[in-house]
Amino acid sequence: MKKSGFVSIIGKPNVGKSTLINNIINFKASIVSPKPQTTRVSIYGYTTYKNKNGDDIQIILIDTPGYHKPLNQLSESMINQVISSLQDTDVILFIVDATNPFEHGDRITIEIFQNSTKPKIIAINKIDKLKDRKVVLNTIEEYANIKIFDEIVPISALKKQNIDRLLETIEKYLPQREHLEFDSVQPFLSNLKFYISEIIREKLFNYTYKELPYKTVVVVENLEERKNNVLYISAVIFVEKESQKSIIIGKNGKMIKKLGTLAREELQFLLNKKVYIDLWVKEKENWTSNEGFLKSIGYK
């Protein structure tokens, strides 16, 4: 028997959605950062395997932006991505943080899918951070009392605890159908410019810490194969203020050089070829509210 289906992963920012996808498919589909609102567009990744019964299973995962109230054109676009992902999905997978499972953001997020007729699974993530097992049991009981979830599974996406049980639970709700055909290096790599920009943006978030707000975007302007199988990349990091520009460049250009080196090393490993990156920083005032600019870079 063959099963295949789409699973929309939904939750407020920084609950571990991208980490879960990356660990399930064993490939870096989504960038991972300790800061919220990292994912800005829905990203597809997939896994195929045989289950315990010998059935062929295909799970196509959709990583959606962390749901939050709209603040500007960018965040409005991110929210629309979440809502649109529910239209054709087969299963809704809601992720909450076990260390803080009943925040206002969780309740707001539930409101967008509570009336959906699609199967709903809740994964209580980050159980590895809890010392008292009773906390998890209390969380399970409270979410069970809401009476909208078909299944509740405690997990640790980072430590890969209970991931097999989560996949078995998802399998129960997938339709019987032929598997979809994807590129062998995952579907999101069909847009290589976007994938490269996400890798660079991840380094930006992880190595500028709290100094830099989330008003940055990376645009790959040039991508070409050169001699000796070298992939040449020219990318621009757009910021909203001159002060942000100086932070990214760093003293004597040390920060931007570090970001470029880290991105180059990871891309060389993932793409299995030599990579050369030219990184630039430009100021684009209020770009997060500039609809024309957002459309031009693919966020609307």
What is residue 168's predicted lDDT score, i.e. its pLDDT? 94
* DSSP β-bridge partners for residue 6: 60
Q: What superfamily in CATH does domain 191-296 come from?
A: K homology (KH) domain (3.30.300.20)
Which of 165-174, 207-216, 245-254 shows the lowest mean pLDDT across its residues?
A: 207-216
Residue 87, pLDDT > 90, answer no
Domain coordinates in residue numbering, the chain: 2-171, 191-296
pLDDT tens column, 38-62: 444 455 677 888 888 888 998 888 8
For residue 151, give Cα distances in angstroms to 109, 140, 147, 208, 267.
Answer: 17, 10, 10, 39, 38
Give the tokens for residue 224. 């070409």
Which class would CATH give 2-171? Answer: alpha beta
pTM of the predicted structure, to 2 decimals? 0.62
Identify the band that residue 149 occupies on the pLDDT scale cut at 50, 70 and 90. very high
